[in-house]
Amino acid sequence: MDGRFERRGVRLLLKRDDLIHPELIGNKWRKLAPNLTAAAGRTVVTFGGAWSNHLRATAAAGRLLGIPTVGVVRGDELAGRPLNPSLARCTADGMRLHFVDRATYRGKSGPRTLAGILRAADAEEAYVVPEGGSNAEAVRGCRALGAELRGLAEVVAVACGTGGTLAGLAAGLAPGQRALGVPVLRGGFLAAETEALQREAFGGRRGAWSLDERFHGGGYARVPAELDAFAAEFEHRHGLPVERLYVAKLLYGLVTLAGEGAFPRGTAVAAVITGRPFP
């Protein structure tokens, strides 16, 4: 129960995808599972920053399933420094890290740049999973999330990084339901990315979905003091560990939207809890 929603006649539900597995949490597993099947035992190469949840999940999956993993990390200046706790967890789980400069990292979607990265990482025969894990396979994997929520809420909301979870979620919902994405990055690029992912996975746009771009808190891995205080209060109120980079921004956005009267009275809103605090 939460008075901030109740007084507006709105019911908040929490979809606890963070409980799927202790290490393969929430949407990370939903996106990784079909890609690991497609990899068919080959080394898996993927990409991320120094605090990437996706790198940690991929490394954990590799350890649990006996699949070699390589993480291409943004920022070659990090190569000579002690590993932060996130990257240290990756290596403890057997992931081999390959650091690249930021210009090369930005160009990784280009075939020539990607080929050069794979060659330098001694992983030319590897199966490549994009940054954040979002591709057609991942989107189709996330469709099950929407199917699990059919008939349970008029609005299903999720924090978004690369758009794959939103793209699949929306496709899996029933008619009359809509998905709401809360981007955690700045830039206003996610609508086009989500549409492109749905085209790749399903041949065109699927489901009713929209984005609210106001709650990124300054960008990825930015946690303003106000947001941190909100998350701490939500934890105290509901006994739910609130992950700050994604989940806190989602919940803050939903509380704000409820206060603005964005949801008609009688609406049930399901918030997908995609992660837990690290470490």
Region class of 170: left (phi > 0), else alpha (psi between -120 and 50), else beta: alpha
Residues 6+ apart with CB under 8 A from 102: 74, 75, 76
| Buried/exposed 40-49: b ≥16 CB within 10 Å, e otherwise | eeebbbbbbb
The catalytically annotated residue of 52, 109, 134, 210 is 52
Give me 263's structure tokens: 């949801």
Tell me whether residue 52 is one of the annotated catalytic residues.
Answer: yes
Residue 149 burial class via C-beta count within 10 angstroms: exposed 0-12, middle 13-18, buried 19 and up: buried
What Rg, from alpha-carbon coordinates, does the chain have? 19
Based on DSSP, count helices (H) and strands (E) in the chain, helices before strands. 11, 9
* Among candidate residues 71, 73, 123, 117, the one with its CA nearest the CA of residue 94: 71
Alpha-carbon distance of 192 to 206, in angstroms, equals 14
Taking a C-beta distance cutoff of 8 angstroms, is the pair 164, 197 a contact? yes
- Phi, psi dihedral angles at 187 (to 5 degrees): 120, -20
CA 149-150-153 angle, to 5 degrees, is: 70
Residues tagged active-site:
52
